[in-house]
Structure 1
Amino acid sequence: MRFANVSGRACLVLDGRAVDIAEASSGALSSDPMMTADLANHPGLQALAAAMDPADWPELRQADLGPPVPRPGKIIAMALNYRGHAEEAGLAIPSEPHVMAKFPTCICGPYDDVPIGALDMVDYEVELVVAIGRRCKGVAGKEAWQYISGLTCGNDVSDRNEQFRPPVRQFSLAKSYDAFGPIGPTMITPDEVADPNDLALSCRVDGELRQQARTSDFIFDVHYLMAWLSRYVTLEVGDLIFTGTPGGVGDSMDPPTYLRDGQVMEVQVEGIGTMRNRIVAGSGAGTGAGEG
């Protein structure tokens, strides 16, 4: 199944059309997009979807789409989880996952503007994002998919100045400014794709291809990440895992190339869809150290 946040309401999507889940179920199912994590395997929703004709549903409009998981509890992000990204950074392939956090207020929609204020070292990172659908702790890798409600597309927008400046590298802070976490445009259940560990993903800036890879280039696949993370923390319904970005980030170009006012990031994950977010300079972003 495929879900979307349409004007703040949970909708089921099929063939470019969307139906309001609460309205279609006469109020039996919730309208809150956060509830799609619980609803993904709900037998009532599956029966409802099977009985409906998508031709009767209204067309899905991009302008109405918000983040499919608008209020995540935790956002866990992975660094250096693609071989190509580790190699371009001149770093050894890690022997275990490198974990950081993004704060939940960074989340924005798939077509929202991303304000950067006066920042001049902002970068893009296309990522596959996993949404947790069941509370879990100490899950075995082979059981991981039982706890995943959906997959979506993410862009781990990052302020490289804040991320790398001395005396302390602020990875989490640099990735958590408002709107530095676009996700969407829809969320799919894992059974919608043949193998979530082998999906194409890409990022373009103003139409220029910057990143292109497959999730088969993961150093640690989704099963492993779920098992490893749940050894340390309890994963709860609505948590998100940004699974890492492939090579091709602007910071590793020669010379380094960062995002500028008016540029459009186009981020795509196979089977999920494409996000388009415009960079907007001026007010409204985290100011970074020594500014503001």
Structure 2
Amino acid sequence: MKVKPSYSALAAIALIALSSPSGAEPGQEPSDTGSYVPSGYSLVFNDEFNDTQLNRAKWATRYIYANGTLDHLVGEAQVYRDNDNHLMHDGMLSLTARRVGSGYESGMIRSLWEFKPAPDTSYYLEARARMPAGKGVWPAFWLNSGYTSTGRLNWGPEIDIFEFVVDGIEENPPSRPKNMVHSNAITHSGKIPSTTTYTHPNYQRVWNLFRADADLTAGFHTYGLLWTNTEVSFYVDGVLTNTRTYPWIYDSDGTPAGPAHILLNLAIGGDWAGRHGIDDSAFPQALDIDWVRVYSRTAAR
């Protein structure tokens, strides 16, 4: 079972002022919808969220564990529900969190479609999203493994395309400004071998944080992942933030993991997001998702 790491030591880390990023690395200028898909990739899965209701043929609203009913992870303050927590409006999906009684309800989606790269096949994933701004929120866009062909299900490997936290503390500099986003390929104490091969000057390697040149709660931004059989590269608005080697294997025995599913969720609290409390006056809050798209490219043989 996944337990997010404690980030209580982050308050002691002073983040240096960084220059503004520039350049779009995936290979072409953004489209009018904000996509940065590289040339040579073809669309294989998407949801534009233009319907009036969430497409349940594409998405589940709980984790795959506990026979698809798991509604929260260890340490989080919310549970995932379907009580208007997946609002479709204005061509977007709003994963909406509310204070309910003594706790919180929120929304998540898990793709029923699954995939993973092969030696001759790579993928480029994007989501265009607007972050919530209240203290204590924890939105994420990530990949986790599903069942293998033999029915095995384990936690990990895991790729976090973005995680975002606003803790509301006025430090100098702020410990979590609204232009800071986390990305990582989880290595579980080094059991999955991974080597960082590139980091943007605005990327802080100790805690895997990228400082963007905009308030990520003020508008929509595009978060991307280029995923090959041997490495992962992360993007914010087309800017390459970091690249690392990463095999999609189980950390317990090094065997190939099951295919990945896509997760987008709005968690509340926990050791990281809730370390300075939760601002109840900010609710309801929402992670707004304009679209999710996955492209693939198969190398010529």
TM-score of the superposed pair, with normalisation by structure 2: 0.27
- Bigger relative contact order, structure 1 or 2 (CA pairs below 8 A, ≥6 apart): 2
Higher strand share: 2
- Provide the TM-score with structure 1 as the length reference: 0.27
